[in-house]
Amino acid sequence: METESKDNHLCVILNSPGDVCNFIAVYNSSFRNFTLVINYDLKGSYDSPFYSLTEEMESIDFTIVIGPDCHSIDYLFYWCANLISVPEFDTGHVCSMNYAFAYCAGLTEVPLLDTSRVENMAGLFAGCSSLTEVPAFNTSMVLDMSYLFEGCTNLRIVPHMDTSSLLFANYTFHGCTALECIPDMFLENVITAEGMFKECRNLHSLPKFKMSNVCYIKDFVVDTSITEDNAPVLTVCSARIDREDGVKIEYVKRNVPEDGVVVLNSILDLTDEIQIAIIEGKLKEVVINYDVVCKRIGNTWYSNSPFVGTYYELEFRKQHRNNADVFFPFGQRHVFLHVDFAITFGQRCHSAAGLFLNCSELKSVKWFDTNQITDMHHMFLGCKSLKFVPSLDLQRCRNLSGFFAECSSLVSVPMFNTADAVDLSEMYVNCQSIENTGEIDLSSARNITRMFAGCRTLDMVNLCNSSEVRNLSGLFLALFWKSVDAEK
């Protein structure tokens, strides 16, 4: 911790969670003429400087400054149940606000924060049961609004929100029992909207949403006042829908081209017929011309990859479409065995995250060009039968987090070019059969947390150019290794 004093004004600078105890000492001294500078990323409730003050803090009577090294204020005021108001503070360079005000049950108003760069707002106001309205935040960059207003039982007014970038909307308004109307929202890019309006008991209608990319809508409008006559109509691809509750579905049909080349400009292009052709190996080439993304919400992974899902699940859901109690969470059971067709990424695709998410029976993958892909996190997550992979081009990839996570049959891998990768956390986590990873270039790496955790048969690790690494906790957790060669 750093402290600066000028004109009887104290500046308390926190550069890590370890400095918080010193801030608490200043706070408990009853001296309030000070500025608190938070200069590190908050990732969990324990990182918050207010964690031990959640029961006693009713107001913020000192100045808060978000330092230049802080881009995440996740859980900042988490469970500050007696907090009534929060002063304005500059959040212009903050990118993540997950659960920042969650369960502040006494909070009656919030300031208009600068959210122009924020991508993650999951649970931002969850459990804020005294809020009746919120300001019109800039949400143009937000990807995740899951649980945003969950449990805001007195929320009556929702301002217009720019949702043009929104992908994840699970339980966004769950339990907003006083809410009577929803403004028009652009939801065409949304992948998952489970329980989005669940238990909004005073909600009688919804705008006509176009949700052509949605894959998961279980409990979408359950326990609302919406009737069958005014139920929302969704245009979806039947191969992707998990379960439809309280909505009307318009299914899209598209036959397989005669030349065997399928171009997917969005997940809407993946119809039953095309997915069956993929599973049965009847295609020559699949061109993916949209960003493939994946995210874990709760204990479930979600993806808009064309390779997540199976013919057998599809047939099962068709047979039981009218049985509300029978459904499979998407991405749980797979019979997809081989990738023996060409995979091409179009000009609009720069992310292949979760491309083969939980394809547990996948045994082999044909080489495909990944030169333009910058994000491949969790690309092979849960591919438990995969033993070998081709030599993919990773030279432009920045995010390889969880790349081979849970690939328990993987024995060896080619030497990849990882010089530009910043995040390699959990890259090989629980690869229980892997013996050698070859040389790994960490020139740009910042995070290698739990990179080899659970790799019980690993013989040799060669990490080079690791001087930029900042986080390596649990790197070899539960690992019985024989040799590690680490170079600066």
pLDDT per position as a tens digit, 244-303? 556 666 655 567 788 889 998 877 677 667 777 776 777 889 999 999 988 887 777 878
3-class state of residue 157 by DSSP: strand
Percent of the chain with pLDDT over 70: 84
* DSSP structure string for 263-323: EESSGGG--HHHHHHHHTT--SEEEE-S-B-EEEETTEEEE--TTSS-HHHHHHHHHTTT-
The pLDDT score that the predictor gives to residue 380 is: 95
d(CA 100, CA 93): 15
- What is the reported pLDDT for 22? 86
pLDDT at 32: 81
Let me know if 142 is exposed, middle or buried by CB neighbors in 10 A (0-12, 13-18, 19+): buried
What separation, in Å, do the N-terminal and C-terminal C-alpha atoms of the chain show?
28
Range ranked top by mean pLDDT from 14-18, 115-119, 271-275: 115-119
- At 479, is the pLDDT very low, low, confident or very high (cuts 50, 70, 90)? low
Q: What is the pLDDT at residue 50?
A: 94
Tell me the two tokens of residue 57: 């803090």
Mean pLDDT score, 310-336:
38
Decide: 478 and 456 in contact? Cβ < 8 Å.
Answer: yes
pTM value is 0.69
> pLDDT tens for residues 121-135?
999 999 999 999 999
Q: What angle do CA 310, 316, 320 make, to 5 degrees?
A: 145
Pairwise CA distance, residues 463 & 458, whole Å: 14
Residue range 437-459: mean pLDDT, rounded: 91
Q: Is there a contact between 262 and 286 (Cβ–Cβ < 8 Å)?
A: yes
Instruction: Assign 26 to helix, strand or coil.
Output: helix
Q: So what's the pLDDT on residue 249?
A: 64
Q: What integer pLDDT is reported at residue 236 of this predicted model?
A: 57
| Mean per-residue pLDDT, 428-457 | 92
Question: Can you list the alpha helix ranges (DSSP code H) found in 51-199?
Answer: none
User: In this structure, what is the dihedral angle of CA atoms 263, 269, 271, 274, given to the nearest 10 degrees?
Assistant: 0
Q: Which token pair is 23?
A: 């801030």
Kind of pairing, strands 248-251 and 233-236? parallel
What is the rounded average pLDDT of the residues 456-485? 78
In this predicted structure, the answer to whether residue 334 has a pLDDT above a threshold of 50 is: no
- Distance set, CA 46 to CA 17, 50, 89, 226 (Å): 8, 9, 21, 40
Highest average pLDDT, of 149-153, 294-298, 335-339, 446-450, comes from 149-153
The reported pLDDT for the residue numbered 233 is 67
Beta bridge partners of 460: 436, 483
Strands 460-464 and 436-441: parallel
Dihedral angle sign, alpha carbons of residues 151, 156, 159, 163? positive
b/e 48-72 (16+ beta carbons within 10 angstroms → b): bbbbebbeebeebebebbbeeebbb
Q: Which of 457, 453, 462 is nearest to 435 (CA)?
A: 457
- The residue assigned the tokens 């910043």 is 422
235 contacts 212 by C-beta, under 8 angstroms: yes
Q: What is the pLDDT of residue 400?
A: 97
419 and 441 Cβ atoms separated by less than 8 Å = yes
| Predicted local confidence at residue 272, as pLDDT | 65
Q: What value does the mean pLDDT of the chain take?
A: 84
Residues 7-18: what's their mean pLDDT? 86
Q: Is the dihedral of CA 159, 163, 166, 168 positive or negative?
A: positive
Q: Which of 45-54, 182-191, 316-325, 430-439 has the lowest mean pLDDT?
A: 316-325
Instruction: Give the pLDDT score at 404.
Output: 96
Give me the percent of the chain exceeding a pLDDT of 90: 52
Q: Are 147 and 174 in contact (CB under 8 A)?
A: yes
Question: DSSP characters for 413-427?
Answer: ------TT-SB-TTT
Lowest mean pLDDT among 146-155, 184-193, 215-224: 215-224
Q: Mind listing the pLDDT tens digit for each residue in 365-415?
A: 889 999 999 999 999 999 999 988 999 999 999 999 999 999 999 998 998
pLDDT (average), residues 77-103? 95
**Residue 297: beta bridge partners?**
300
What integer is the mean pLDDT of 25-48? 90
DSSP 72: B
Does 431 score more than 90 pLDDT? yes
Q: What is the pLDDT of residue 309?
A: 55
How far is 277 from 272, CA to CA, in rounded Å?
9
Would the pLDDT of 346 be above 50?
yes
What does the pLDDT read at residue 55? Answer: 84
Q: How many CA atoms lie within 13 A of 34 on its CB side?
A: 22
Q: How confident is the model at residue 317, as a pLDDT?
A: 40
Among 254-268, 330-344, 429-443, name the one with the lowest average pLDDT: 330-344
d(Cα 250, Cα 237) in Å, to the nearest integer?
Answer: 8
Q: Find how far residue 88's CA is from the centre of its chain.
A: 27
What is the maximum span of the chain, computed from C-alpha positions, in angstroms? 79
pLDDT band at 199 (very low <50, low <70, confident <90, very high): very high
Cα(477)–Cα(452) distance, integer angstroms: 7
Q: Which residues of 309-323 are buried (b: 16+ CB within 10 A; e: fewer)?
A: bbbebbeebeeeeee
CA separation, residue 254 to residues 158, 268, 310, 356, 411 (Å)? 38, 10, 18, 23, 39
User: What is the C-alpha to C-alpha distance for residues 43 and 97, in angstroms, rounded to an integer?
Assistant: 10
